[in-house]
Amino acid sequence: MLSLQHQVLRPPHPQQHQSLPERLWPHSLLQEKCENGAKWEDDKHKGSKIYSIKGEKDTVAELSANGPCEAVIAVYEDFVVYTSGIYHHVSGKLLGYHAIKLMGYGEVNGTKYWLLANSWNEHWGEKGYFRMLRGNNECGVESDIVCGKP
């Protein structure tokens, strides 16, 4: 079995999610120091609203209006060896789930795709990015999208 970095289980629906208790994520793990010289408390940025969307139409509208969102995809063995092109699952077993950033959308020769950012490294895929088939909920990408407002 191939190992998969950043493998995650599908998270709970955002409206049902509660902050982790301090004892599970101790504040002492954070390095409260800004490299830019700013004060830690003054340099924090928090979103004012978090919400979920689903489907191609709503996702295209959200990306156009407010920019990138986060999504979770099912990762199969053929995804790990992806190098370029518009990905769609063809072969291999399910390895797990992976959080990705949904950056945009496009179309090439009549094939619609999502533009996504992966967190593995810039040597994977298309310099750390990948395109995935759009409009058929490929690997669940259109079913669990979380967005936010600054």
Distance CA 73, CA 3 (A): 16
End-to-end CA gap in the chain: 40
With respect to residue 89, please indicate whether it lies within any of the assigned structural domains: yes
Confidence class for position 2, pLDDT limits 50, 70, 90 = very low
Instruction: State residue 134's pLDDT score.
Output: 98
Q: 66-81 burial string, b = 16+ CB within 10 Å, else e?
A: eebbbbbbbbbbebee
Confidence class for position 7, pLDDT limits 50, 70, 90 = very low
Is residue 139 scored above 50 in pLDDT?
yes
With respect to residue 69, please indicate whether it lies within any of the assigned structural domains: yes
Domain count, the chain: 1
With respect to residue 61, please indicate whether it lies within any of the assigned structural domains: yes
Instruction: State residue 127's pLDDT score.
Output: 93
- Tell me the pTM: 0.72
CATH number at residue 132: 3.90.70.10
pLDDT digits (tens, 9 = 90+) for 23-64: 444 444 456 677 788 887 777 777 789 999 999 999 999 999
Instruction: State residue 44's pLDDT score.
Output: 72
With respect to residue 7, please indicate whether it lies within any of the assigned structural domains: no
Q: Which two tokens stand for residue 107?
A: 């179309």
Domain span holding position 57: 46-149
With respect to residue 115, please indicate whether it lies within any of the assigned structural domains: yes
Instruction: State residue 101's pLDDT score.
Output: 96
With respect to residue 141, please indicate whether it lies within any of the assigned structural domains: yes
The candidate with the shortest Cα–Cα distance to 2, out of 90, 72, 76, 99, is 76
Is residue 6 scored above 80 in pLDDT?
no
With respect to residue 108, please indicate whether it lies within any of the assigned structural domains: yes
pLDDT digits (tens, 9 = 90+) for 72-120: 999 999 999 999 999 999 999 999 999 999 999 999 999 999 999 999 8
With respect to residue 6, please indicate whether it lies within any of the assigned structural domains: no
Instruction: State residue 42's pLDDT score.
Output: 77
